[in-house]
Structure 1
C-alpha cells in the first residue's frame, strides 16, 4: 500500500516530478564539480569555456532566463487549467495537472537553474583564474535542451488548450486504462461485418487524408472494389469498419477472393487518421467552423449578430463558388475505366443545410440574421442551376415560416424577410432609390416585391 500511494502521488501531483528533476540536477552538478576539482580545472581549456569573467556573465544570464522560463511555464499551466475549468469541465483539472510533459518541462528548467547557480559559485578570479569546465559544458547542454523544450512546450500547450486536445487527453488515458485492465484480447467481430470482407480501422481518429490513387491501384491488383465506409472528416473508432471489400468483375462468383489478395494493414495505412478534422481534403470543415462562430455569436451571453453576419458573408461566398461547380465524384476508376473505389461525398443539399440550417434555427429572432440569410439565398438562386434550386427554396420556405412564428406584427415580418447584404444597412427598405434618366423613368434601388 505505501508503494501504491507513492505511485499515485507521482502520477497525480504537479510538484513531485519537478522536485525529483531538481534533485537530480543537484546530484549531477555536484559530481561534475568534484570531477573539475579532482582534475585541477584542466579537463576543459579556457579557450572553450571563456575567461572566468565570461563564464560568470554567461551563467548569470542562464540563471535569470531559467527563472523567467519556469515562471512562464507555471503561468501557462494555470491559464490552461482556468480555461478548462471555465469552458469544459472542472473535473478535467486533474488530468491537466498530471500532464507528464509539463512536469518534465518545469523540472528541466528548475534543474538548469540550479546547475547554473552552483557552477557560478565555483568560478574564481576574473581575467585569470579557474573555471569548472565540465560543469560549464553541462550548463550549456541543459540550456540548449531547455530552449528546445520551451518550443515544444508552447506547441504542447497550444494543442492542449484546444477542445479536441482536452478530449483526446481524457479519451486516450481512459482507452489505455480499458486496454491495460483486461489481459484478454478483444473477441471476434459479430454481426454483418463479421464476414471477413471488412478492413477495420487500426486506431481511433478523424479521417484526414485518403490516398485514392494507392487504393485504386491496390483494388486493381486484387480485382475488387473498395468501399470507404466513413466520409472524409468522420471520426472512426478503433476497430470499426474502414473499408468494405466487394468482388470485382473477374471475381463475381468468388466472395472470399478479394480479401485473400489484400492485406488489411496495407489498405488501412493508405488512410491518414488524425486527432481532429483538418482542411486538407475536407472543405465542409471550413463551413462547419464558420457556422460554429456564427451560432455562438448570437447565443447568450454573447449576443453579437454582427459577427454572425461576417460569418454569413463567407458562407455565402463559399456556396456561391460551389453552386456553379461540379462536386467531387464518389467513384474512382482505374486506367481501364473500372470502378475500384467508392465513397460517400457531401451533396449540394448537404452543403446548403450545413451552412444555413443551424444559423436559421438559432437566429430567427434577430432581424439582421434573417435579412442577411434572405439576401444570400436570393443571390444563390440567381446563380445556381435548375437542379440545385430545391435546397435553396426549402431554406427560404422554412425561414419564412420561422419568422412568421417569431413575430406578431406583419410589418416586423416584412422587415425581417427583406434581403439585406448588411443585415440592416443596404436593404431596399433602408436605402434611398437611385434614379437613372428621369425622362425614361428608370429607377434603381426600388423595393422588389416578395
Structure 2
C-alpha cells in the first residue's frame, strides 16, 4: 500500500519531475566539470568556446534566460489552471497539474539554469585563463533544447487552453483506463457490409475521389454514415457497403472485395471540426458567439448583432446557389459514393433557431432577425421560402410571449439592419418629391440613371 501511495504521489505531483531534472542537471554538470579538470581544460579548445570573458557573458545570459523561462512556464501553467477552474470544472485541475509536458519543460529549464551557474563558477580569468569547454558546450546544447522546448510548450499550452484540448485530455485518459480496467468485449463476427471507424474524432476531410475509385474497383456503392463535422466514436459505423447497380441481388460480393483499412484511411478524423470541408462549422461558431453574448452575465447584444450581420451575409450567399449533391459518380456516370449534406432548411435553422430562442426578449436581436429574414426572402427562390417563413412565424410567436404591450411587440418586430438605428420607425422618410423639385424636375417624373 505504501508503494501505491508513493506512485500516486509521483503521478499527481507537479514538483517531482522538475526536481529530478534539476538533480540530473547538477550531476551531469559535475561530471563534465570533472572531465574538464582531468584533461587540463583542453577537451574543447577556446576557439570553440571563446575567451573566458566570452564564456562568462554567455553563461550569464543563459542563466538569466532560463530563470525567466521557468517563471514563464509556471505562470502559464497557473493561468491554464485558473481558466480551467473558472470556465470548465475545478475537478479538471488534477489532470493539468499532472501534465508531463509542463513538468518536463520546467525541469529542462531548471537543469539548464544549474548547469550554466555551475559552469560559470569554473571559468577562470578574463582574456586569458581557463574555460571548462565540455561544460560550456553542454550549456549551449541545453539552451538550444530549452528554446525548442519553449516553442513546443507554447503550442501545447495553447492547445490545452482550448475546450477541445481539456475535453480530449480527460477523455483520452478515461478511455485508456477503461481499456486497462475492464475486460475486452467478446469478439463478434464483423459485418462485411460495414466499415468501422478506427479511432474517435470528428470527420474533418473526406477523399471523395479516392472513395469513388475504391468503390469502382469493388463494384459497390459506399454510403458515408456520418456527416462531415460529426463526431464518430471509435468502432462506430463509418461506411455502409451496398451492391453496385449491376449487382443488386448480390450483397456479399462487393462487401467482401472492399478493404476496410483502405477505405477508412480516406476519411480524416481529427480532434475537432475545421473549416476545410465543413461550411456549417463557420455558422456554428458565429451562432455560439451570438448566443453567448446575450446570455448572462455578458448581456452584450451589440456583439450578437455583429455575428448576425455575418450570418445574414453567409445565408445570402447561399440563398440562390445550388447546394452540393450527396451523390458522387465515377467516370462512367455510375453512383459510387452517397453522403448526407446539410439542406437549405438546415442552414437556416442552424443560423437562426438558437439565436431566436435566446434573444426573443432583446429588441435589437429580434429587429435584426426580422431584417435578415425579410432580405433573404427577397433573394431566395420560391422553393426556399418555406424555412424563412417558418422563422418569421416562430419569431413573431416568441416576441408575443415576451412582451405584453402591443406597441412593444410592433417595435420588436420592425425590421432594422442595426437592431435599433435604421428601422422605418426610428429614421426619417425619404421624400423624392423634394429632391426632384429642387433639381427643376417635374414632381413624379423619372430621374435618369
Measure the CA separation in 2 of the matches of 1:89 and 1:166. Answer: 10
SS state at 1:437 partner: helix
Distance 1:188 1:337 in 2: 40
Q: How does 1:133-212 map to 2 (within 5 A)?
A: 133-182=133-182, 184-189=183-188, 195-212=191-208
Alpha-carbon RMSD across the aligned residues, in angstroms, is 1.3
Q: 1:77 to 1:441 in 2, by over 3 A?
A: farther
Match of 2:369 among 367, 373, 388: 373
Shift of 1:42: 0.4
Q: In the TM superposition, what whole-angstrom CA distance separates every residue of 1:80-126 from its partner, at most 9, and x where no partner exists?
A: 00000011000000000000100000000000000000000000000
1:188 and 1:223 map into 2 onto residues whose CA distance is: 29
How do 1:19-168 residues align onto structure 2 when only pairs under 5 Å count? 19-168=19-168
Per-residue deviation, 1:186:
3.2
Partners in 1 of 2:218 and 2:184 — Cα distance? Answer: 30
Correspondence for 1:418: 414
Q: For 1:345, what is the secondary structure of its paired residue?
A: coil
1:260-409 equivalences under 5 Å are: 260-409=256-405
Distance in 2 (alpha carbons) for counterparts of 1:132 and 1:256: 74
Q: 1:249 deviation in Å? A: 2.3
Task: Give, in whole Å, the separation in 1 of the partners of 2:241 and 2:122.
Answer: 71
Instruction: Describe the shift of the 1:266–1:186 C-alpha distance in structure 2 as closer, same or farther (beyond 3 A).
Output: farther
Q: Bigger CA drift: 249-258 or 171-180?
A: 249-258
Offset, 1:24: 0.7
Instruction: Kindly provide the CA deviation profile for residues 282-340 of structure 1, in whole angstroms up to 9, marking residues without a partner as x.
Output: 01000000000000000011110000000000000000001011111100000000000
| Partners of 2:192 and 2:256 within 8 A in 1 | no
- The range that moved more, 246-255 or 198-207, is 246-255
* Structure 1 counterpart of 2:224, from 225, 228, 239: 228
| Helix, strand or coil at the partner of 2:431 | strand
| SS at 2:67 equivalent | helix
In structure 2, distance between residues paired with 1:172 and 1:298:
33
Once the 2 structures are TM-superposed, how far is the Cα of residue 196 of structure 1 from its aligned partner?
A: 2.5
Cα deviation for residue 142 of structure 1 reads 0.5
**CA distance, structure 1, for counterparts of residue 343 and residue 79 of structure 2:** 42
The SS at the match of 1:155 is: helix
Structure 2 Cα separation of the partners of residues 252 and 189 of structure 1 = 27
CA distance in 1, matches of 2:171, 2:319: 39
Give secondary structure in 2 for the equivalent of 1:195: coil
Shift of 1:189: 5.0
d(CA) in 2 for partners of 1:113, 1:3: 32
User: Post-superposition shift, 1:258?
Assistant: 1.6
Alpha-carbon separation, structure 2, partners of 1:256 and 1:10: 54
Aligned CA distance change for structure 1 residues 298 and 262 (closer, same or farther; 3 Å): same
SS of the residue corresponding to residue 240 of structure 2 reads strand
The 2-side partners of 1:201 and 1:238 are apart by 6
* Displacement of 1:437: 2.5
Taking structure 2 as the reference length, the TM-score comes to 0.96
2:18 is matched with 18
In 2, distance between residues paired with 1:391 and 1:255? 39
SS at match of 1:332: strand
1:239-278 matches, cutoff 5 A: 239-278=235-274
Q: 2 CA distance for matches of 1:249 and 1:379?
A: 44
Deviation of 1:441 after TM superposition, in Å, equals 6.3
1:435 to 427, 431, 439: 431
Instruction: Name the CA distance, whole Å, in 2 between partners of 1:186 and 1:175.
Output: 14
Deviation at residue 257 of structure 1 after TM alignment:
1.1
**What per-residue deviation string (whole Å, max 9, x for no partner) do you get for residues 227-280 of structure 1?**
000000000000000000011123322211122212111111110000011111
Q: What's the counterpart of residue 446 of structure 1? A: none
Instruction: For residue 4 of structure 1, report the CA deviation from its aligned partner.
Output: 2.0
The alignment of Structure 1 onto Structure 2 pairs a total of residues equal to 439
Q: Tell me how far apart the structure 2 counterparts of residues 369 and 303 of structure 1 sit (CA, whole Å).
A: 12
Deviation sequence 1:392-429 (CA, Å, 0-9, x none): 00000000111111111111111000000000000011
Aligned-partner Cα distance in 1 for 2:94–2:185: 30
